[in-house]
Structure 1
Amino acid sequence: MTKDNLEAPPGERIFYFDIDNCLYSPELGIDRQMRDGIYAFCGEIGMDSASIVKTCNSYYKDYGLTVRGLINHHDIDVVKFIEKVDGPLQIESIIKPDPTLRLMIQSIKTRRWAFTNAGIMHAKRVLKCLQVDDLFEGITFCDYTEPDFPCKPERRAYSKAMAESGVADVRLCYFADDSAQNVKAAREIGWTAVLVSKQTPSASTTNAGTTKDLHTTSIHDLPSVLPQLFA
């Protein structure tokens, strides 16, 4: 890539938005609720309580999502997992409409697509609570019932997003995510990617020499990071 991939080739550009902890603040604690739900589910299926945290962290690191490790090593009932972990999340009482977010997304001069590691019902719940669900052409999500389903930061997850949104040229692809690993993977395949995090990215998750390390502490500030998409 050259010039940080900021000039897209002829064609219609597309912006892929991560959802959880990206479109809303991680300080809302949805991820903590989900983590607690996963730990409780692990206890229900008979995992050793002393090793649940360590095992779940290992699965997350190895597979991108804890649930993939549980599927591979514990043959769990995925439908029951979704009911037990995602169902009780207090999304509607915690995530509120965000008019500033809505205006920002509306003003971007690209196609708009949601790209999440969550399941489809969870993704729809969050987007509806934020009142931005009508602003996206589609959602690339993880189908936990699909054997060996792809998820970020695997390359095939990004290929899936491109295929589902009908994009063939990586230079047309823009992306925002709160995970440094997901952003790094996107940059490595040629997407222009923005890390949305209050934490400063470490050297191990940057791509010096291949693309500009675009970073913002809030998704609301995206226009200041990529002004050419909002001009």
Structure 2
Amino acid sequence: MTMGDLDNTPSERIFYFDIDNCLYSPDLGIHLLMKDRIYAFGKEIGLDSASVVDTCSSYYKDYGLTVRGLINHHGIDVAAFNKKVDGDLPLESVIKPDPALRQMILSIKTRRWAFTNAGIEHARRVLKCLQVDDLFEGITYCDYAEPDFPCKPERRAYEKAMRESGVKDMQLCYFADDSVSNVKAAKEIGWTAVLVSKQPPSASATTGLHITTIHELPMVLPQLFI
């Protein structure tokens, strides 16, 4: 199925999979490698070495992604950011194929779509490393070159995912993510959402369904695997 075919696809359930720290374990440390490269990039564009960590952290909190703060406040070259941050990550030497993940995704009885806050090249690299890149109809990603691009947990990011996958009914949407904020936002708009985290959410988080690894998905949504 191609992107152009989606408008004619009959209404049916769809599962949106987050990618980073969801399809692979956060124990691999990819997020730490990315932080190091973001901080180095921040110093390159003139951020003070003593405060670069706090500045980048505040951008992440305020904008959902650090890169959005860097764009808004520093007018960074997005191509340079992609090359020096995402493009420099040694994904192929860290992320290995996961046959069990592949089998689980293949066995789910819904349409399958990747939904990430990363850029498209990073998303494709991760999926290829895991050897699941052929299992998704499409990828909803963040285009850093797009002015005011949406990202999770903003509602318009979820609406973008639905629009790009050709789905209009919120009740047909299922979602797995490692972020409490992203899962809560999905639930608030009517999606069935699953938190993927080794740490159980606090009582106040009210995320609902929770698994420790994505491989456990059939345990909480068995109806999708029958």
TM range (shorter): over 0.9
Cα distance in 1 for partners of 2:11, 2:121 equals 32
Q: Which runs of 5+ in 2 are unaligned?
A: 1-9
Cα distance in 2 for partners of 1:119, 1:206 equals 29
Specify the SS of the correspondent of 2:195.
strand
Cα distance in 1 for partners of 2:11, 2:158 equals 19
Deviation, structure 1 residue 205: 2.5
Alignment: residue pair count: 217
The answer (yes or no) to whether the contact 2:11–2:167 under 8 Å persists in 1 is no
Deviation, structure 1 residue 141: 0.2
Name the structure 2 match of 1:12: 12
Aligned pair 1:230/2:225, yes or no?
A: yes
Name the structure 2 match of 1:3: none
TM-score (norm 2): 0.94
Name the structure 1 match of 2:107: 107
Runs of 4+ off more than 6 Å:
none
Specify the SS of the correspondent of 1:135.
coil
The answer (yes or no) to whether the contact 2:16–2:113 under 8 Å persists in 1 is yes
Deviation, structure 1 residue 28: 0.4
Name the structure 2 match of 1:6: none
Cα distance in 2 for partners of 1:73, 1:46 equals 12
TM-score (norm 1): 0.92
Aligned pair 1:157/2:157, yes or no?
A: yes
Partner amino acid, structure 2, of 1:24: Y
Identity %: 79
Q: Map 1:22-37 onto structure 2 (within 5 A).
A: 22-37=22-37
Cα distance in 2 for partners of 1:203, 1:73 equals 36
Q: Which runs of 5+ in 1 are unaligned?
A: 1-9, 208-212
The answer (yes or no) to whether the contact 2:116–2:142 under 8 Å persists in 1 is yes
Deviation, structure 1 residue 204: 3.7
Deviation, structure 1 residue 164: 0.1
After superposition, the CA RMSD in angstroms is 1.0
Name the structure 2 match of 1:4: none
Name the structure 2 match of 1:139: 139
